[in-house]
Amino acid sequence: MLLLVLLAFFLFYAVVPTVVIRVFSLRIYKKGNKRNTIALTFDDGPDSIYTPRLLDLLKKYQVKATFFVVGEKAKRHPDIIKRIHQEGHEIGLHNYRHISNWFLLPFFLSRGLRKSADIIEQMIQERPIYYRPPWGHFNLCTLPLQKQYKTVMWTHILRDWKEHVGVLELFHRLKKCQQDGSIIVLHDSGETFGADANAPENMLAALELFLKEGYAQKIRWVTLSEMLNAQNKKQIS
Catalytic residues: 43, 187
Which contiguous run of DSSP H or E holds residue 29? Answer: strand 28-29
Beta-carbon contacts of residue 101 (< 8 Å; ≥ 6 apart): 14, 95, 109, 133, 134, 137, 138, 139, 142
Closest CA to 76 of 53, 99, 58, 49: 49
Residue type, 163: E
CA distances from 168 to 97, 162, 204, 210 (A): 31, 13, 12, 10
In 32-187, which residue ranges form alpha helices assigned H by DSSP? Answer: 50-60, 71-76, 78-86, 106-124, 142-145, 167-175
Beta-carbon contacts of residue 25 (< 8 Å; ≥ 6 apart): none
CA distances from 135 to 53, 110, 208, 229 (A): 24, 17, 25, 25
Using only the alpha carbons of the chain, give its radius of gyration. 17
